[in-house]
């Protein structure tokens, strides 16, 4: 199986979300094969889950500090993006991904766990689906854990969320290399300075190489899914749709605030 790997580098917040959705649309329509995208953020940014309240963050602080705030197409809780590897994966609900959300989520997490283990980071995966998965009522993504998620030393290492349609899905995730805990507490209005439920790779691994890890992710996906990932760039149609989505959705204040989006941006 020939799949795509897109390494987008560091991009603007609204564009990151728009391109992820544009790729998912193309994959669902059959215009592109299953696609793994790896990317970063050009400046520190906040992403909210698609149904999350804007009041969960200090939006005034974000405005003062010029921290962009975007709303993801996927669910879950807020993430302060900075020094990290962010990923998205889009595929149709068929073949390897014909099962439910949990099984798909687990398979993708397994690939990342394999990449981390191969890079010298000992990890564990949550295999229980029972209730009680949420650690806290925090609005922060990394303060909760659920089935299939990857942890290290008892703390969450990857934060992921998924959006499913009848014909396909989009999964987005964040793997922090380092964490600005002070900024995170300020943005998410956390007064408690107790130990966090999250951990960053550079707290575990002293000699970390970002580029080597991305290669490990590629190798792990190919091994896990028995595919070949071909390095490509987004198609012209995907770039055009991403630009439209930036204009009408992800760069639109009404979407960010959680108001109903315009019908023209429903794909």
Helix (H, G, I), strand (E, B) or coil at 88: strand
CA distance 52 to 256: 10
Strand 79-81 with 155-156, pairing: unpaired
Strand 168-176 with 84-92, pairing: antiparallel
The continuous run of DSSP H or E covering 18 comes out as helix 13-28
Contact (CB, 8 A) for 156 and 197:
yes
Q: Which residues are catalytic?
A: 141
Residue in this structure with the two tokens 């398979």, named with its chain if needed: 107
CA distance 49 to 75: 4
Contact (CB, 8 A) for 87 and 108:
no
The continuous run of DSSP H or E covering 14 comes out as helix 13-28
Q: Helix 210-225 vs helix 101-118: angle between axes, to the nearest 10 degrees?
A: 130
CA distance 22 to 63: 27
CA distance 265 to 267: 6
79-81: strand order across its sheet: 69-71, 45-48, 79-81
Nearest to 242 by CA among 10, 16, 22: 22
- H-helix segments, 188-248: 210-225, 236-245
């Amino acid at each position: 199986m020939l799949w795509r790997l897109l390494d987008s580098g560091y991009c603007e917040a609204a564009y990151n979300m728009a391109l992820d959705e544009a790729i998912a649309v193309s994959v669902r329509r059959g215009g592109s094969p299953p696609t793994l995208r790896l990317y970063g953020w050009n400046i520190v940014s906040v992403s909210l889950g698609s149904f999350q309240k804007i009041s969960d963050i200090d939006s005034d602080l974000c405005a003062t500090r010029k921290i962009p705030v975007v709303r993801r197409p996927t669910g879950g809780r807020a993430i302060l993006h900075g020094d990290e590897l962010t990923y998205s994966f889009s595929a149709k609900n068929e073949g390897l991904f014909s099962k439910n959300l949990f099984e798909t989520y687990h398979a993708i997490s397994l690939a990342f766990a394999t990449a981390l283990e191969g890079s010298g980071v000992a990890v564990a995966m949550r295999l229980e689906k029972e209730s009680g998965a949420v650690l806290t009522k925090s609005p922060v993504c990394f303060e909760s854990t659920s089935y299939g998620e990857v942890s290290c030393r008892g703390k969450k290492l990857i934060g992921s969320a998924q959006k499913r349609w009848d014909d396909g899905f989009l999964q987005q995730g964040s793997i922090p290399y380092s964490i600005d805990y002070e900024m995170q507490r300020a943005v998410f209005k956390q007064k408690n300075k107790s130990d966090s439920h999250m951990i960053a790779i550079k707290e575990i691994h002293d000699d970390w190489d970002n580029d080597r890890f991305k290669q490990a992710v590629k190798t792990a996906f190919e091994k896990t899914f028995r595919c070949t990932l071909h390095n490509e760039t987004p198609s012209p149609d995907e770039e055009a749709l991403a630009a439209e989505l930036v204009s009408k959705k992800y760069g639109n204040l009404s979407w960010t605030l959680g108001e109903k989006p315009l019908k023209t941006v429903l794909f």
